[in-house]
Structure 1
Amino acid sequence: MRVLSPCLASWFISLAMLLALATPSAAETTPATPFSARYQLEVSGWPNTTVGHRLTRESGHWQSHMEASLAVAQGSERSRFIIEDGNVTAINYASGYSLMGIGNDYRLTPEELTHLPDRQTALFELSRRAIAGQDCTTGKGCRLDYLDHRGRPERIDYRLLEPVPLSLPAGEFEAVTVEVTEPDEPERRLVFHFHSELPGLLLGMEYHRDGERRSRLALSALSLAQ
């Protein structure tokens, strides 16, 4: 029997270890563009599923919302953040997950997000840094801190890779690519492919463990706000 752990259930909704940055970026990129995207998610040993991701603007703040479901797991998470003077600040986070009928809800308040943002805000901010070409070329590379869905601090390392062309169901793209690893889990590796002009828009992602690709995400549909 295949057992889907609560951690893996969270993976389906939040694209696993979505990142958050310890400090804001001063990158001179497009502040934000609202979009609605859908992805095809393939996980080894499990049926394919669809992940939805929307970036919207509401009353002066931005909202990033992801959701997905499988036969035994479903959930969603939502983050609100503001962009002022080129800086991104998380102000609220909420998520809910269900695994085989058993689940929980989580929230992070503005007070909890004072020093470290949530991982949905992180996805947006990481893409801004990648688009601007920000990288660490000395020492151990770029080390980033963030809060997980329970508000616990986590840490990852990242480095920029060469841009690659992607042929996806949603079209042809030139992707900005980022490789992510965890200091305590060197056998795990994530490769994010971001849109080169739209911060926060993920084109694809691959999750590798013990030298094998365990899951893959690919953009299947995209709609931009007019």
Structure 2
Amino acid sequence: MTLPSFALSHLSQAPARRGACTATRADRPSAWQRLCRAGLGALLVLAGSAQAASDEAAVSPEAPVAPVASIAPVPFTAHYTLVLDGWPDVPITQRVSQSGELYIASMEASIKVASGYEQGRFTLAEGRMLPEGYRSGYRLAGIGKDYNREAPQAGDTRLPDRQSLLVLLSQQVDSQWSEQACLAATPCSLDYLDHKGRQRTLMYEIQGQETRQAAQRTFRTLRIEAWRKHREHKHYRIWLAPRWPGLMVGLDYLDYEDVMDKEGNRNGKVPPRSAHLTLHQLSSARQ
């Protein structure tokens, strides 16, 4: 889920250099440029990274469409602050909007000389999410890259992008919680496409229902813990508000490698969070 393990794991291990991303390109080593760029990617996604190390093949057109959604999306604008150890706090804006039958889910963020965005478009047909295009990009000191994906054609893979995945995840977990499904003993999964169109799998378990205060509101939330398949040690503890599919009332990043012993066992330990996301403003017609 929004905050890739690749970027966050590297940033959480970086030495404390608040303001490092504001240095000029001439003053900052190339390694720090990569870290700053990775940090921007961390703002925009739940799993995977705009600077992912692997270069796997594109997905097969045999992949299934997104599963049935249980709660219709509602337009909203949310403002967050991302806090990363040793880095400047980063403002993030998330939007879910609707134009006719088309829904648009997006995030954008910026810090001084760097900026990034990600946007997914989808429609609903008989409760199923159908992707209708995707775009994303980042800039660092005026240099960056953009990614675009048009609406799938007949026979193409019809899986959600990372922003649409956030909406779908919120839609799914409410009904799953009522059925006592996707708990710790039986985690569930959702397939999606990353920025390059590669198939990824998000694993998640529902840990419970909580009432949380944020943005001058009281939210009924479902707390989940999510991780990308094959990256089992990088976890995201997320508080979702099902009344606003896609909205995160809070998020903690946990790296379980920090508490593992030499044999690779966690021994029941939970690591301290090395990054967290806080909701501080929500605008929506739904109350």
With structure 1 as the length reference, what TM-score do the two structures score?
A: 0.87
Residues 8 and 124 of structure 1: CA distance in aligned 2, closer, same or farther (over 3 Å): same
Work out whether residues 94 and 105 of structure 1, in 8 Å CA contact, stay in contact via their aligned partners in 2: yes
- Cross-structure match for 2:145: 104
Alignment of 1:68-217 (within 5 A): 68-111=109-152, 114-133=157-176, 135-136=181-182, 141-209=187-255, 210=258, 211-217=271-277
- Cross-structure match for 1:8: 39
Per-residue CA deviation, residues 83-138 of structure 1 (Å, 9 max, x unaligned), is 12111111100011113432100012223863322111101001101122253359
Work out whether residues 80 and 91 of structure 2, in 8 Å CA contact, stay in contact via their aligned partners in 1: yes
Work out whether residues 116 and 146 of structure 1, in 8 Å CA contact, stay in contact via their aligned partners in 2: yes
CA RMSD of aligned residues (A): 2.5
Residues 137 and 178 of structure 1: CA distance in aligned 2, closer, same or farther (over 3 Å): closer
Work out whether residues 22 and 117 of structure 1, in 8 Å CA contact, stay in contact via their aligned partners in 2: no
- Cross-structure match for 2:66: 24
Contiguous gaps of at least 5 residues in structure 2 = 1-16, 21-31, 50-62, 259-270
Letter in 1 for 2:44: I
Overall identity of the aligned pairs, in %? 30
Structure whose CA Rg is larger = 2
- Cross-structure match for 1:53: 94
Letter in 1 for 2:142: G
Per-residue CA deviation, residues 57-89 of structure 1 (Å, 9 max, x unaligned), is 113210112111113431111111001211111
Residues 195 and 140 of structure 1: CA distance in aligned 2, closer, same or farther (over 3 Å): closer
Alpha-carbon distance in 2 for matches of 1:125, 1:22: 15
Residues 175 and 63 of structure 1: CA distance in aligned 2, closer, same or farther (over 3 Å): same
Letter in 2 for 1:225: A
Work out whether residues 145 and 153 of structure 1, in 8 Å CA contact, stay in contact via their aligned partners in 2: yes
Contiguous gaps of at least 5 residues in structure 1 = none
- SS of alignment partner, residue 132 of structure 1: helix
- SS of alignment partner, residue 45 of structure 1: coil
Q: Which has the higher strand share?
A: 1
Match of 1:63 among 104, 108, 132: 104
Per-residue CA deviation, residues 148-207 of structure 1 (Å, 9 max, x unaligned), is 112122223111111122122342222112111233222210012111322222212111
- Cross-structure match for 1:224: 284
Matched, 1:41 2:41: no
- SS of alignment partner, residue 133 of structure 1: helix
Residues 49 and 22 of structure 1: CA distance in aligned 2, closer, same or farther (over 3 Å): farther
For structure 1, which segment, 138-147 or 168-177, has the greater mean C-alpha deviation from structure 2 after superposition?
138-147
Residues 219 and 139 of structure 1: CA distance in aligned 2, closer, same or farther (over 3 Å): closer
Alpha-carbon distance in 2 for matches of 1:22, 1:202: 26
